[in-house]
Structure formats: structure tokens, C-alpha cells
Amino acid sequence: MEAGRSIDIEKLYQTYYMDVYSYVMTLIKDASLSEELTQEVFYRAMRSEFHGKSSELTWLCAIAKNLCTDEFRKRKKEVVLDEQTADAADHPNRTNVEHTVISKMENLQIHIALHQLEEPYREVFSLRVFGELSFKDIGMVFGKTENWARVTYHRGKLKLQEKLDDVEN
């Protein structure tokens, strides 16, 4: 499809629905919500203009990624609000300063455990979480495959979780 031409949304939907749904499902891990977000991707695609700077699938996946990011932010706010409400009921005298100190201590423990990870797990984890790089990009940084980056990230995540579990015990 050329830039500036109108989008045949029906054809786009038939061609890329499963690819977009699969992508969203890997991010969200909830079939019902993934289906809903995939529908929203095509709705937004219909309302916006395809400039042809990337492939149609890449464009659709970019829309999907933005929707998923919005969903994660929304859920995080809901979880934080629920935790604060529950904590306020359990500890009415606890101040926000105490919350901040506890949060900083937890963050410090995570960073200490991350610092203790051996390479390449530490760098791959950092690039993925803090650098927000795709697995494909991480693979390119290391001169490896996208699959190598995925496996290394997940192994690093497991090792980090083990270190954090050791700290708690």
C-alpha cells in the first residue's frame, strides 16, 4: 500500500488480524483483553493515516504496543490505588513518608540483586526493562538472534527472582 492512499481496512483486518492478536496476546497474556485491544487497533488504524514509512504489520503492531502500554499504565494505577486503599484501612496512621521509604528499600534490593547478576543477563535485562528495547534490537546489540535475546532475558529474570527470594528468606 502506498503512502497517501486510503486504507482498505477490511483487507488489512483479514490479512493481519491473527498476527496482531498474537502480538497483543504475548504482551497482555489475557485472551479476552487481547481480543478487545486487537479490535481497538484496527479501529484506530481506520481512523488514522498510513504514511508508508514501515510495513502495514509494523504500523499495526506499533498501534498495538501503544494500546498495551496504555493498558499497563491503567492497570498499574488501579493496583496502586487498591494497595493504598487497603493499606490505609490496615494502617491508618502510616504516613506517605513510610510508603516512600519502603518503596525505595524495595527498589534498592532489586538494583542490588540486578547488579549481582552475571553478564550477559544483567545487560540484557537492563536493556529490555530500562532501555525498553525489543528483543530483536537486543539481539542486534550483541550480534545474536532475537530468540537468543528472549531466552537470555527470561533466564536473567529467573536468576534475578531467585536472588530476590534469597534476600527475603
Domains of the chain: 1-94 (1.10.1740.10), 96-169 (1.10.10.10)
pTM above 0.85?
A: no
> Is the CA virtual torsion 142, 125, 24, 51 positive or negative?
negative
Per-residue confidence band for 4, with pLDDT thresholds at 50, 70 and 90: very low
Cell of 41: 487497533
**pLDDT for 96-109, tens place per residue?**
555 555 565 666 77
Helix (H) or strand (E) holding 42: helix 31-47
**pLDDT for 15-41, tens place per residue?**
999 999 988 888 888 888 989 999 999
Whether 86 shows a pLDDT value over 50: the answer reads yes
What's the one-letter identity of residue 35? Answer: E
